[in-house]
Amino acid sequence: MRELGIGLIGTGFMGRAHALAFRNVSAVFELPLKLKFAALADADPQRARQCAEAWGFDSAHSDWQQLIDDPKVNLIAITTPNHLHYPMAMAALAAGKPVYCEKPLAVSLEQANAMRLAAKAAGVVTRVGYNYQHNPMIGLARELIQNGELGDLISFQGEFSEDFMADAASPWSWRCDAAHAGGALADLGSHLLAMARYLMGDVEAVCADTQTVHAQRPATAGSQEQRTIAVDDQVHALLRFANGARGTFSSSWLKHGYKNHLSFEISGTQGTLAFDQERLNELRLFRAGQEGFQRLLAGPNLPGYAAFSPAAGHQLGYNELKTLEVHDLVMALAGLSQGGTDFDQAWEVERLATAIRLAANESRWVRIEEV
């Protein structure tokens, strides 16, 4: 069996999630490739060494270019802050290596465009971490929509809110810096835009409003030094889809009480579908003529769920979605899958986000083809 040498860059929240998914995927699925944990990189050399040992990687680097150059590495997984996606992915693509990059793709549309063109030129598999689409219940939602269960689509009401920045004393981080692609729209909203495109198709035009509620935050936790914040804390937008449906979109990292509220209601002429990532094993479906919503619960009738459990209602979690994403990636690397978000589709998400920022800055409707 052909071996796949994984090179993982970053050991934070997503570095661990990727490591777990690469570890678990072989236990859950029969894979066409044998995964080898070739190399790990982190800017902090001690952390790189510790995580490489704990997570079973053969070598540790503090210089990510060394990881990309390592001949034992033939897949580059990027889990660093957003502004590093571009240089790392471009270097990987220049070396002809496939890339699995965290979202959002880049910090500007120009970078995102260069990345998708470089991926096309390199002719290698690329994937971006829009993991929520890999939820079997989202697959079911897409199937129900495509099978016409909702009739003709009329509306999409989507929201992705969390509250991890709700406290005005939450300190500055790279997520608060525009040059690092910070802001609620880049951080959370990009997931919802990817989801809206996945379920509803192309968006044609947007109008939007963005707001920075807390214009200053402590430079570090508890510090008296303040840093100015220029990125959005919340964004609200109207969407017009190519299929004629209309939509609302909002995203906030200030909304008290919400921890992972990626949610939507999609209505058509024959019904409504509702989902909330905080209850990720459920869909609510209303068909015209019913008395009330039907609650659909994840079970082994869905292949992505069956891979983990033969028993209905035992529930998947966030890390299982990441494992399903990695499964799709490995199948794509073996030429056996077309699923998942590649650099081209992730660039479309960046176009939408850019159009939303432009619409907000200029207080007008923006057609996506303008950007």
Ligand X SMILES: NC(=O)c1ccc[n+]([C@@H]2O[C@H](COP(=O)([O-])OP(=O)(O)OC[C@H]3O[C@@H](n4cnc5c(N)ncnc54)[C@H](O)[C@@H]3O)[C@@H](O)[C@H]2O)c1
Task: Please report, as ranges, the residues that interact with ligand X according to CB under 6 A.
Answer: 9-15, 41-44, 64, 79-82, 84, 102-103, 129, 131, 187
> Judging by DSSP bridges, how do beta strands 99-101 and 271-276 pair with one another?
unpaired
Start-to-end C-alpha separation, the chain: 44
Of the pair 3, 63, the CB lying nearest ligand X is at 63
CA-based nearest residue to 125, from 89, 158, 165, 154: 89
- Nearest approach in angstroms of CB 230 to ligand X is 18
- Nearest approach in angstroms of CB 64 to ligand X is 5
- Nearest approach in angstroms of CB 75 to ligand X is 16
- Nearest approach in angstroms of CB 128 to ligand X is 9
Give the CB-side neighbour count of residue 38, counting CA atoms within 13 A.
21
Of the pair 45, 244, the CB lying nearest ligand X is at 45
- Listed in sequence order, the DSSP H helices in the chain are 13-28, 45-55, 64-69, 85-94, 109-122, 136-146, 184, 190-200, 303-306, 318-333, 343-362
Instruction: Please state, in angstroms and rounded to a whole number, the distance separating the CA atoms of residues 341 and 335.
Output: 15
**For residues 188 and 238, is the Cβ–Cβ distance under 8 A?**
no
Report the residue number whose CB is nearest to ligand X.
12
Of the pair 43, 114, the CB lying nearest ligand X is at 43
Of the pair 130, 241, the CB lying nearest ligand X is at 130
- Nearest approach in angstroms of CB 181 to ligand X is 8
Angle subtended at Cα 95 by Cα 91 and Cα 100, rounded to the nearest 5 degrees: 65
Count the Cβ atoms, other than its own, within 10 Å of residue 178.
Answer: 16
SS3 helix, strand, coil % of the chain, rounded to 5?
Answer: 40, 25, 35
Of the pair 74, 82, the CB lying nearest ligand X is at 82
**For residues 148 and 288, is the Cβ–Cβ distance under 8 A?**
no
Handedness of CA 328, 334, 336, 341 (dihedral sign): positive
DSSP for 25-62? HHHHS--SSEEEEEEEE-SSHHHHHHHHHHHT-SEEES
- Nearest approach in angstroms of CB 240 to ligand X is 27
Of the pair 103, 286, the CB lying nearest ligand X is at 103
What SS3 class is residue 74? coil
Of the pair 187, 350, the CB lying nearest ligand X is at 187
Of the pair 15, 158, the CB lying nearest ligand X is at 15
Q: Which residues pair with 58 in a beta bridge?
A: none
What SS3 class is residue 335? coil
- Nearest approach in angstroms of CB 132 to ligand X is 7
CA-based nearest residue to 187, from 101, 89, 77, 104: 104
Of the pair 102, 320, the CB lying nearest ligand X is at 102
- Nearest approach in angstroms of CB 157 to ligand X is 22
- Nearest approach in angstroms of CB 13 to ligand X is 3
